Structure 1
């Protein structure tokens, strides 16, 4: 996969591949011509796509000529109707791969002298291994640095087992994020108030070793900071709000890990006095929702600078919320939460957009025994965050 954001790849970037005599690899494949309508061409195209999806994901580029797997020329491809060709390839992938391959992105890269390249970015499969079903093929493919190959029975068994373990491995990382919020193996904990923890990770996390050069200039910022400090850690960089002198705790922190994931923790409520001077244990839905959107969206923005792409796993939990309630509408009071710690939910998203995070907000409200009002706005007015 090119170490460039998908939307930033242009003719110059492709020409550099040729100038550098870049070889094909486990996550990069060159093709001189687009796949034709012949069954053998379609079958070969699907084998290329699924081999990338079943490995680490990667880029399939049409319009680059190779010699023995090394980029040697940039003739491009002539496409009469670009939109129709993209739709054709999308349809081939959509109808001939099982399980369905989510998150494939295709774009045309025009050349100054005419023609152009067609770039297909294939994410790691959400439910690998993916098989080619075209004309009852039923074959599974993967890749090495020398190209694609068909999986044997032993490799297939391993692939299915490894896929079944993925959810637990993501949740384990999230559980460690909760422990950090509680102060375990940390210089401090989050304030002793209701707290949210959001972990955002690329689906490729366990399939691709990476060590990004994260610094405090590029690390995730904590939620709603009035000021913040940074700490370089073995695992990454943590930015945190000021340490309270009385408690030794903080309101929020964000850890950007060198392997390309984040944990963000912040308080979402506490004890407040009403007009009668009575103590009320409150949780504020906007604090959770705004923090969720900011944490997840900012992760995508920051990590894409280092070539980390989706699909993404977003996991959210809250703790310390027992006996707390929310107030909404005309001062309507929900029932108090009876569970202290809850896994709000887990999402798998091709791209992290505001609307895609709404299911987590709805589950958060249900933790307090009410449905989130359908007419209540979700996210900032312009639909952007982070």
Structure 2
């Protein structure tokens, strides 16, 4: 509905809705006031929110009046302390909605010294369907919200169960292909770092196909290990690759459903004592955080929104040793040939560092540490 980041929505966008007579429907609802005082008002609000979450997500716009579904006045409303209002809404939904909802975004847009427009963005939920007060499920269509019937509720539960199986099966297929050297590009042999970012919107029967254009700028698609870098365009998507002496050591690829695959065989080629592969834990964390900014930039360009499933693996690293944040080589080595890390779901890339920190913590555990070693200065 708003073709921009939520934080950048301003009064011009609200005026655009009015001037172009953008109607209420599946993805947007207009409200003149926001009242949460009575039990019935709180229930109605929770029903509005869950109707978006149980369908395809959308926006609630408070402080505008409508006639026959289109805005006729942008009057604004006195909402008081906005931080208090946001907390009130979060508490209300936590108390009234199951399972718990994530990814709600809220902001106020001032129109004068006293009045504001208040907008709530609700993401499509992949952990629902959500129920209000343990009794009622709601969805949305072009006429607004409606109460779901039994068959629709059952279908939505089955859709979400099937969604996670589809994601798991897709990721396992990609792992097997990379291990068999059948990834998106032919790579030089060696131990492998693999990161997959899987938007939940890329799965299911209504997944869209992106118009990716061309990856003209390596700053947007840089692989983990950067040496000679050039772009590739193929049937399955686009990206950039690292090549040294005509061999490819890694790539950063996005397919036409918005799924990112980053594979690297350069960083882990540092040879330690005894000709064993050395895993530099701080470097891996740093490289993950750097590439996350590029992924987020591309998703913004292509209009791909969260939630995102993050999956990370180290492949063919048996007997590797570690370097800690003090540059010390540990005495432990990896017994497993492949390390498949627990996945994490994030709503946006401001949460990515918690994932990279989790990767680092688990690598330190694998290196024999109960916690991260203290960084000392020489």
Q: Give the alignment partner of residue 147 of structure 2, picking from 146, 150, 156.
A: 150
Q: In the alignment, is the contact (CA less than 8 A) between 2:292 and 2:352 conserved in 1?
A: no
Residue number in structure 2 paired with 1:237: 238
Q: Give the alignment partner of residue 292 of structure 2, picking from 286, 290, 296.
A: 296
Residue number in structure 2 paired with 1:339: 336
SS for the counterpart of 1:16 is helix
Residue number in structure 2 paired with 1:58: 58
- Normalising by structure 2, we get a TM-score of 0.87
What runs of 5+ residues in structure 1 fail to find an aligned partner? 378-386
Q: In the alignment, is the contact (CA less than 8 A) between 1:97 and 1:130 conserved in 2?
A: yes
RMSD, aligned CA:
2.6
1:362 maps to 2:358: no
The structure-2 alpha-carbon separation of the partners of 1:225 and 1:22, relative to structure 1 and needing over 3 Å to count, comes to same
Residue number in structure 2 paired with 1:120: 120
CA distance in 1, matches of 2:332, 2:33: 63
Residue number in structure 2 paired with 1:315: 311
Q: In the alignment, is the contact (CA less than 8 A) between 1:362 and 1:372 conserved in 2?
A: yes
Residue number in structure 2 paired with 1:69: 69
Give the drift of 1:376: 5.3
CA distance in 1, matches of 2:307, 2:286: 22
SS for the counterpart of 1:129 is coil
- Residue-by-residue CA offset, 1:70-128 (whole Å, 9 max, x unaligned): 33432222223322222222221222111111121111111258622111111222421
CA distance in 2, matches of 1:102, 1:227: 41
CA distance in 1, matches of 2:371, 2:329: 13
Give the drift of 1:291: 2.7
Residue number in structure 2 paired with 1:270: 269
Please list, as runs of the form range in 1=range in 2, the aligned pairs for 1:1-386 lying within 5 A after superposition: 1-112=1-112, 115-133=115-133, 138-179=135-176, 181-182=178-179, 183-184=181-182, 186-189=184-187, 191-206=188-203, 209-214=207-212, 215-217=214-216, 219-242=220-243, 244-245=245-246, 248=247, 250-267=248-265, 268-270=267-269, 272=271, 274=273, 278-328=274-324, 329=326, 331-352=328-349, 353-357=351-355, 358-373=357-372, 375=374
Q: In the alignment, is the contact (CA less than 8 A) between 1:98 and 1:132 conserved in 2?
A: yes
The structure-2 alpha-carbon separation of the partners of 1:80 and 1:366, relative to structure 1 and needing over 3 Å to count, comes to closer
CA distance in 2, matches of 1:40, 1:46: 10
SS for the counterpart of 2:342 is strand
Give the drift of 1:367: 4.0
What runs of 5+ residues in structure 2 fail to find an aligned partner? none
- Residue-by-residue CA offset, 1:344-383 (whole Å, 9 max, x unaligned): 1201123333541222222233344544515459xxxxxx
SS for the counterpart of 1:103 is coil
Give the drift of 1:330: 7.2
- Normalising by structure 1, we get a TM-score of 0.85
Give the drift of 1:201: 2.6
- Residue-by-residue CA offset, 1:214-271 (whole Å, 9 max, x unaligned): 33147532113233111222332121112543xx4x2221112332331111134136
